[in-house]
Chain A
Amino acid sequence: MKLEVDVKKRLGSFELNLDFGTMGNRLGLFGPSGSGKSTLVRLLAGLDLPDSGTIKLDGEVLTDGRRAIPPRKRRVGVVFQDSHLFTHLGVTANLLYGYKRLPKAERQINPDELIEALDLGALLERGVHTLSGGERRRVALGRAVLAAPRLLLLDEPLTGLDDKLRYQIIPYLHMVLERFGIPTLFISHSVEEMRLMTNRVLLIEGGGFTGEIKSGELAMQSFARGQEGYVNLMTLCDPSPVGDLCAYRWGDNELILLDTSEDPRVMVRLEARDVVLFKNHPTSTSARNLLTCTVSGLVPLGNRVAVELLCGGQLLVSQIVREAVVELDLREGSVVVAAIKATSFRILYGEHRRRGRGVLSGPASSSTCR
């Protein structure tokens, strides 16, 4: 998917003035609240028109100031933060609303296949009032996907959900977007969601475009700006029980976790501040994981430093204080031992086993188990 945007739009005292071009199938749009993300979504979907400028999708002009393709002909789908399901219709009718309005030749997605992929079978006969927050998002996603969009805008689809629900929905998102090959623009102000959902991220702030980076770099940039601490997102696989704990493979390393999952591959979260560094191998420690690593980079922020480590072919970040860096004499190429407690890992979500394809293949920003 190729997107070219050069638009101006004034809304009261706020002015959106964007000029960028990008390519990719897993793009993110990241910016704080009030930066113009939702305005851009509305312009892309055709729900609002720019004051001036051009938007092109795959070379086709969507709007150029004089004429605009109406939303119904753009084939740009939107999954809204509030779902906006049709409350007078049941789940099935909601799902098929856009599908039925597609010319027969363009109905590329088989509804039954989608219903199976999103686990919606049990909900079909229900009214949308009876759905939980997570179920509503799944139905809204299915409804948008069935309309076979050539670009799907996911406008903060996980905002407002608690962590448990959020991590339940992400695998579905990956699964559906991968399986049906739909290019997406994922909009969020959460660094973690960006890393889990996108490959590349467009940054906007105060109504202007400020750059495009890999989603993996977003976390380090966010740390360097002092916005939030660094979080390691790791894909682990091949679980096997070790006593009452569980061992997972992570690259060439083996990690011991407290929690276990039935899934063969899991996405795991580890706070960088929970990774303790030793200069020499400690003789005895309560931490169940000791990994020998090489320092590959140091990112300072005030009195803290994010230490980038290479271990067993994987990237791990530890967040320590500057004094510790001096004391351990850490520099690029130094060899250290990283100690991580088994309880520090948190399994976010796993691959759904009964579906054939992996759902963890989506995010590029997390390290993988290969």
Chain B
Amino acid sequence: MFFAPADLEVIVLSVKVAAVATFLSLPVGFLVAAGLGMSRFPGRALVDGVINLPLVLPPVVVGYFLLILLGDNGFFGPILKALGIKIVFNWKGAVVASAVVGFPLLVRSIRLGIESIDEGMFHAARSLGATWRDILFSVVLPQSWRAILVGATLMFARSLGEFGATVMIAGSIPGRTQTIPLAIFDYTNQPGKDANALKLCIVSMALSFSVLLVSEYLARRAKKTVTR
């Protein structure tokens, strides 16, 4: 077989982590992007800054903060323990790391999409009897869904490649938390495992490229439906 069972596990785990992180972040990301893109509230710049922080911080630093917040002895440790949720050194930790690091990319893309919507449509919708919540789902969501798709793609791809924050909070435990980048790093530290590392590199590229292609295809199809 082309892949060793351990490598298959790595691939499946990577896809699972990236997919769950993206899926969970999407609704929150959309609401945050809508809040930032459509309203003017005091402290907006601050919120914007905090959300974008993981984009400029070294991922290892983000991972370290997550450890401080979510570790057994961390800030939220006791609450998580009481709820029976274990994040550190667990695949859920990898999800959290990917979600935090990829979140700014998601929000940025969606926000750009929302800000490019003709504001007059909001005026029209309001004068036609829609509430803001109604407008969010009947105008903003369908108008920005290409941007949402682009944001999700970027985030998924970013999550597939997440290394620094993941290794801090989830470690690199084969079969449990070891994702493709961690496994590649591991292989390159073992003599004679170059071929395995290369195989995973190719898989990584193929996965990211497929996601881009699928997203592009969906976006094109969406455009066709609208301009029908």
Complex Cα gap A77–B126 (Å): 10
Binds B, one of A96-104, A112-120, A180-188, A209-217: A96-104
How many residues on chain A are close to B (CB under 8 Å)?
33
Residue A233 CB within 8 A of the other chain: no
Residue B58 CB within 8 A of the other chain: no
Complex Cα gap A294–B97 (Å): 90
Within 8 A of A (CB), among B134-191: 134, 138-139, 142-143
- B119-145 vs A, Cβ < 8 Å mask (1 yes, 0 no): 011011111111100100011001100
B120 and A84 form a contact (CB under 8 A): yes
B124 and A78 form a contact (CB under 8 A): yes
Partner of A47, one of B118, B126, B139: B126
Residue B39 CB within 8 A of the other chain: no
B228 and A78 form a contact (CB under 8 A): no
Complex Cα gap A73–B128 (Å): 9
B126 and A82 form a contact (CB under 8 A): no
Q: Which 9 A-B pairs have the closest CB atoms?
A: A98-B128, A84-B120, A101-B129, A88-B142, A71-B126, A84-B124, A72-B129, A129-B227, A78-B127
A88 and B123 form a contact (CB under 8 A): no
A127 and B228 form a contact (CB under 8 A): yes
B123 and A80 form a contact (CB under 8 A): yes
Chain A min CB distance to B147 (Å): 13
Complex Cα gap A85–B129 (Å): 15
- By a beta-carbon cutoff of 8 Å, the part of chain B in contact with chain A is 118, 120-121, 123-131, 134, 138-139, 142-143, 226-228
Complex Cα gap A82–B118 (Å): 10
Partner of B131, one of A46, A72, A80: A72
B129 and A102 form a contact (CB under 8 A): yes
User: Using Cβ atoms and an 8 Å threshold, which residues of chain A touch B226?
Assistant: 87-88, 127, 129
Complex Cα gap A42–B119 (Å): 13
Residue A147 CB within 8 A of the other chain: yes
Within 8 A of B (CB), among A60-74: 70-74
Q: Specify the main secondary structure of chain B where it touches its partner.
A: helix
User: Using Cβ atoms and an 8 Å threshold, which residues of chain A touch B121?
Assistant: 84, 86-87
Q: Specify the main secondary structure of chain A where it touches its partner.
A: mixed
User: Using Cβ atoms and an 8 Å threshold, which residues of chain B touch A86?
Assistant: 121, 124-125, 139, 143
Complex Cα gap A129–B226 (Å): 8
Partner of A147, one of B128, B139, B142: B128
B143 and A88 form a contact (CB under 8 A): yes
A47 and B123 form a contact (CB under 8 A): yes
Query: 17 more A-B contacts (CB under 8 A) besides A72-B126, A80-B120, A127-B226?
Result: A45-B123, A71-B126, A72-B130, A74-B127, A84-B120, A84-B123, A84-B124, A86-B121, A87-B118, A87-B143, A97-B125, A101-B129, A102-B129, A127-B227, A140-B124, A144-B127, A147-B129
List the A residue with the shortest CB-CB distance to B222.
A88
List the B residue with the shortest CB-CB distance to A106.
B129
Residue A76 CB within 8 A of the other chain: yes
List the B residue with the shortest CB-CB distance to A153.
B127
Chain A min CB distance to B128 (Å): 3
Point out which of B126, B131, B143, B227 has the most chain A C-beta atoms below 10 A from its C-beta. Answer: B126
Complex Cα gap A42–B124 (Å): 11
Residue A33 CB within 8 A of the other chain: no
User: Using Cβ atoms and an 8 Å threshold, which residues of chain A touch B125?
Assistant: 86, 97
Residue A222 CB within 8 A of the other chain: no
Partner of B127, one of A45, A85, A89, A129: A45
B123 and A78 form a contact (CB under 8 A): yes
Chain B min CB distance to A51 (Å): 17
User: Using Cβ atoms and an 8 Å threshold, which residues of chain B touch A127?
Assistant: 226-228
Within 8 A of B (CB), among A3-48: 42, 45-47
Complex Cα gap A80–B130 (Å): 17
Complex Cα gap A66–B193 (Å): 73
Residue A361 CB within 8 A of the other chain: no
List the A residue with the shortest CB-CB distance to B224.
A127
Residue A130 CB within 8 A of the other chain: yes
Chain A min CB distance to B87 (Å): 39
Residue A143 CB within 8 A of the other chain: yes
Instruction: List 28 A-B residue pairs with CB atoms under 8 Å apart, sorted by A's residue number.
Output: A45-B127, A70-B126, A72-B128, A76-B127, A78-B124, A78-B127, A82-B118, A84-B118, A84-B123, A84-B124, A86-B125, A86-B143, A87-B118, A89-B142, A90-B228, A97-B130, A98-B128, A98-B129, A101-B128, A101-B134, A102-B129, A129-B226, A129-B227, A130-B227, A143-B124, A144-B128, A147-B127, A147-B128
